Amino acid sequence: MSASKTRPSVLYPEPTVKRWLASLARNMKKHDQSIFMIEQLQTSWLPSSGSKVMHGLITIVVAGLICGLAGAGIGLLVVLFSDLSYSEIVPITLAIGFAWGMVTSAILLIWRKEVKTNEGLIFSWSKVASVQNLMKGLFRVLFLGSLFILFFYAFIKFGEPEILERKLVDLEELIQDGIEPEKNPKYSKEQDDIRNRLKREGVEIEIKEFFAIIFIGFLLSILLNGIIRRVLESKTEPNQGIRETLQNATKWSGIITLSLAFIPYAVVIGIDLFGALESLDAIRWYFTISLGSALILTGLWLWLGGIDVLNHYAIRLMIYFKKEGPLNYARFLNYTSDQLQFTQRVGGGYIFIHRMLQEHFATMDKMED
């Protein structure tokens, strides 16, 4: 490790060092910890109920922004491969993704009481086959499927009319350019089909789409039932658990989503290539599969550890704003270890050099900067 990492050049004011070490010592004593691991920070470390509420809001909003950007990305892809405009599609996919991220993250925050790291995934068929997990899987199918259908409704309610109206305008422009409907029944039929769809009231989901969602939900429930998070007992770097959680959540959510999306994409592309799919239905199916894949990808990312990563950094942010600790714990504790000799690094964690020193800081009154 380089000298710049082991001996930070940043100097902290003495009152700040005392305040942060005192807060650290008190919380370690409160949680009965002899070794402080950065990734083990929990909401119970926050000094007040107000800071806990604020931390939750920060986590939910950031999750919404991440999922919203994913939705906007899908909207951009649809625009690139169709004649739709950015203003018609991207705001809709952005809003749906943002709402999906906020709702999903809020549910996971309520469901999970603490930050849990994901330092590796193991798949167990025996866990999948257990009766208890099959019941959990059934609950996930019903719950996640209902949530997914809710956002799918939102797409049909707000997104499909934009696609249909745009297609209708394009057909009318073709007719104005000299293509007469009576001589081109294909365009005339497509116009009538679009007008009929736009006149429908309410929201409709076709039976095949409903069963497709249930089937995907069933596959997801099997995968989620069999996944076991692996936590490394010994770590070599500070905050290693959170970094590996981010990597694993990103990697496995991508692999699972691509595996699930491959079959419907292949089927639609094959039908489209053979000319058995109307252009209007092709756009609708490509958009539906793409948006569904984005919702599954971001939902899995949050489920497999993304929510824990966001939760962890929101906790650290609130601790810093409340002047109870540094924003960069590793740099500060390396400083107290290498230059002040108050702490000592042990693997991926830190300890006070003596129990009496920890007790001394734990009993100090809170000091103002």
The two three-digit tokens of residue 96, written as one number: 């749906």
- Going by pLDDT thresholds of 50, 70 and 90, the confidence category of residue 166 is low
Average pLDDT of 80-90?
69
Average pLDDT over all residues of the chain: 76
- Provide the token pair at 56: 């939750």
Q: Are 154 and 96 in contact (CB under 8 A)?
A: yes
- Does the pLDDT at position 350 exceed 90? yes
d(CA 70, CA 203): 24
pLDDT band at 121 (very low <50, low <70, confident <90, very high): confident
pLDDT for 6 equals 47
Pairing of strands 227-229, 121-123: antiparallel
Q: Is residue 2 predicted with pLDDT exceeding 50?
A: no
Bridge partners of 227, per DSSP, are: 123
Q: What is the pLDDT of residues 208-255, one digit of tens each?
A: 555 666 666 666 666 666 677 777 777 788 899 999 999 999 998 898
Strands (E), 47-187: 121-123
For 205, phi and psi rounded to 5 degrees?
A: -125, 130
Q: Where are the beta strands (DSSP E) in 230-346?
A: 343-346
Rounded distance between C-alpha atoms, residue 32 and residue 43, angstroms: 16
Contact 226, 124 (CB under 8 A): yes
Pick from 125-139, 252-266, 274-288 the range whose average pLDDT is largest: 252-266
Residue 20: pLDDT band by 50, 70, 90 thresholds? very high
As beta bridge partners, residue 291 has: none
Band of pLDDT at residue 130, cut at 50, 70 and 90: low
Binning pLDDT at 50, 70 and 90, where does residue 122 land? confident
Who has greater pLDDT, 196 or 26? 26
The one-character DSSP state at 352 is: E
Q: Which CATH class is domain 14-43+322-362?
A: mainly alpha
Q: For tokens 């769809």, what's the residue?
A: 197
Q: How far is CA 151 from CA 157, 213, 295, 296, 305, in A?
A: 10, 12, 9, 11, 22
Q: Which range, of 1-5, 102-106, 180-184, 298-302, averages the lowest pLDDT? A: 1-5
Kindly report, residue by residue over 298-335, the tens digit of the pLDDT: 988 998 899 999 999 999 999 999 999 999 999 999 99
The reported pLDDT for the residue numbered 270 is: 75
- The confidence score (pLDDT) of residue 368 equals 45
Q: Is residue 95 packed enough to be buried (19+ CB in 10 Å), middle (13-18) or exposed (0-12)?
A: middle
Write down the residue that tokens 């116009």 correspond to: 191
Predicted pLDDT of residue 203: 43
Which residues belong to CATH 1.10.10 in the chain?
14-43+322-362
Residue 137 pLDDT class (50, 70, 90 cuts): low
- What is the spatial distance between Cα 185 and Cα 73, in angstroms, rounded to a whole number? 36
β-partners of residue 36 are 350
Is residue 72 within 8 A of residue 97, CB to CB? The reply is yes
| Eight-class DSSP state of 36 | B
Helix (H) or strand (E) holding 228: strand 227-229
Mean pLDDT for the stretch of residues 30-49? 91
Separation between Cα atoms, residue 67 and residue 97, nearest integer Å = 5
Q: Kindly report the pTM of this predicted structure.
A: 0.78
Single-letter code of the amino acid located at 279: S
How far apart CA 72 and CA 79 sit, in angstroms, is 10
| Per-residue pLDDT, 167 | 56
Q: What is the mean pLDDT of residues 140-166?
A: 57
Counting beta carbons within 10 angstroms of the beta carbon of residue 201, is it exposed (0 to 12), middle (13 to 18) or buried (19 or more)? exposed
CA dist 223 and 322 (Å) reads 40
Among candidate residues 250, 251, 244, 303, the one with its CA nearest the CA of residue 109: 303
Residues 6+ apart with CB under 8 A from 125: 226
Between residues 345 and 76, which one has the greater pLDDT? 345
DSSP state, residue 44 = G
CA angle 147, 148, 154 (to 5 degrees): 95
Contact between 24 and 325 under an 8 Å Cβ cutoff? The reply is yes
